Amino acid sequence: MQLGPDGESQLLPTNITKSPVTPPKFYYKVLGKTLETNRGKAILDQGKKQMSLSLDMKNDLLSIILEEIFSTGITIKYSDFSLLLDEICCHLPGEEKCKDYYFISRDGKKNPSGKLYSKYKNRRSRIKLKLAQNELFEKYEDLENQTPKVSESDRVS
C-alpha cells in the first residue's frame, strides 16, 4: 500500500489525466459571459425590475445562451440542462416559477422538453447534418476528380 504525502493511504493513482469533456461548472461560465453582454445586461435589468421576463426577453436569453454554447464548442449533456436552469433561476429569481418553459426533465419517462432543450437539440442536429452533407460532398468531389475523363478522340465507334 502506497502512502500519500500526509501519511494517509493513497487509493487512487496521482497521475490521472482528465478527458477533454465539458469542464465543470461550464453553465456558470456560459451564463456569466451571456449576462456580461449588452443584451444580457438588459435581460438581467428587466428580470430584477419586473421579477419576470417577457416572452421576447426569454427567447432572447435563450438565443444568447445558445450562441455562447455553440461559439465555444461546448457539448451539453442531459444532466447539465437542469444545472444551467438552476443558474438561470439564481440570476433571475422570477424565472423560478416558469422553469418548465426552459427545461422539463421527465426523468426517463419521456423525452425531455422545454425551449432551451429543444432549441439546443435542433440546432445541434442541424450542425451535424450540415457537417455530414459537407463530408459527403467532399467525398463526391474526390471521387469525381479521380474518375478519368474520356475525350471524343479516345472513344471507339
C-alpha cell at 63: 438565443
C-alpha cell at 131: 457537417
Phi, psi (5° rounding) for residue 9?
Answer: -65, 145
For residues 30 and 38, what is the distance between their CA atoms, to the nearest angstrom?
15
pLDDT band at 16 (very low <50, low <70, confident <90, very high): very low
Tens of pLDDT, residue by residue over 115-127, are 999 999 999 999 8
Question: Is 49:42 a contact under the CB 8 Å cutoff?
Answer: no
Model confidence, pTM: 0.67
Judged on CB neighbours under 10 Å (0-12, 13-18, 19+), 149 is exposed
Question: Is 125:132 a contact under the CB 8 Å cutoff?
Answer: no
Tens of pLDDT, residue by residue over 50-105, are 888 999 999 999 999 998 888 888 888 888 888 888 888 888 888 999 999 999 98
Mean of the per-residue pLDDT values for the chain? Answer: 77
